[in-house]
């Protein structure tokens, strides 16, 4: 049984988003997590060592991470921990990976605006992005039975409005 871990830190690389030939969306990035402690004798905060993680999100989480997370953001990640030893010729090392189950901005360091992804009646996903969206009801009679909200289709600059074949996976 894999271990579940929650980590806070800084997004250290530009999130890399791809879709496999089978249509599986994947987004990954490196996370730097530095523990801090207060040194009473010096009356200041002291940085500890930095732990590095490779964070990977799949399916709807991958799509939302690609749309929301940028290099330099402070985030909170919960997921399954994987520790792997590797060897490449004369070099060896250990990689620590987290398969993310939930990921979001760390609100201790700033504020965020949440916009929910909405499933359309065809099962595809229409994502809302407040900065660049023009939204209108997909069908005036189309209502999400779970939330009781009108379904929308979004037109997003440089992004597909509806991602065919992608269905949100509940946690």
The domains found in the chain, sorted by start residue, are 4-105 (2.40.50.140), 118-163 (no CATH)
Q: For residues 113 and 115, what is the distance between their CA atoms, to the nearest angstrom?
A: 7
Model confidence band, residue 145 (pLDDT cutoffs 50, 70, 90): low
If you search the block for the tokens 């987290």, which residue do you land on? 98
Ordered DSSP codes for 73-102 = -EEEEEEEEEEEEEEETTEEEEEEEEEEEE
Model confidence band, residue 6 (pLDDT cutoffs 50, 70, 90): very high
Query: How does pLDDT run across 39-50, given as a tens digit for each residue?
Result: 899 899 888 899
Q: Judging by DSSP bridges, how do beta strands 91-105 and 44-58 pair with one another?
A: parallel
pLDDT of residue 151: 47
Does the predicted TM-score (pTM) go above 0.85? no
Query: How does pLDDT run across 76-94, given as a tens digit for each residue?
Result: 999 999 999 989 888 999 9
pLDDT of residue 135: 38
pLDDT of residue 123: 42
Instruction: Tell whether the model's pLDDT for residue 53 goes beyond 90.
Output: yes
Whether residue 69 contacts residue 56, with contact meaning beta carbons closer than 8 Å, is answered with no
């Amino acid at each position: 049984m894999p271990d579940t871990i929650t980590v806070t830190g800084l997004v250290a690389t530009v999130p890399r988003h791809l879709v496999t030939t089978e249509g599986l969306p994947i987004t990954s990035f490196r996370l730097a997590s530095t523990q801090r402690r207060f040194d009473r004798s010096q009356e200041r905060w002291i940085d500890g060592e930095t732990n590095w993680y490779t964070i990977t999100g799949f399916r709807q989480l991958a799509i939302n991470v690609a749309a929301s997370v940028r290099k330099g953001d402070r985030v909170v990640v919960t997921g399954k921990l994987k520790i792997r030893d590797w060897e490449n010729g004369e070099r060896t090392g250990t990689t620590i990976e987290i398969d993310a189950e939930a990921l979001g901005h760390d609100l201790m360091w700033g504020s965020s605006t949440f916009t929910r992804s909405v499933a359309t009646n065809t099962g595809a996903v229409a994502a809302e992005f407040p900065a660049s969206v023009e939204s209108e009801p997909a069908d005036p009679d189309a209502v999400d039975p779970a939330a009781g909200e009108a379904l929308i289709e979004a037109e997003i600059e440089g992004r597909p409005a509806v991602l065919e074949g992608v269905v949100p996976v509940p946690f």
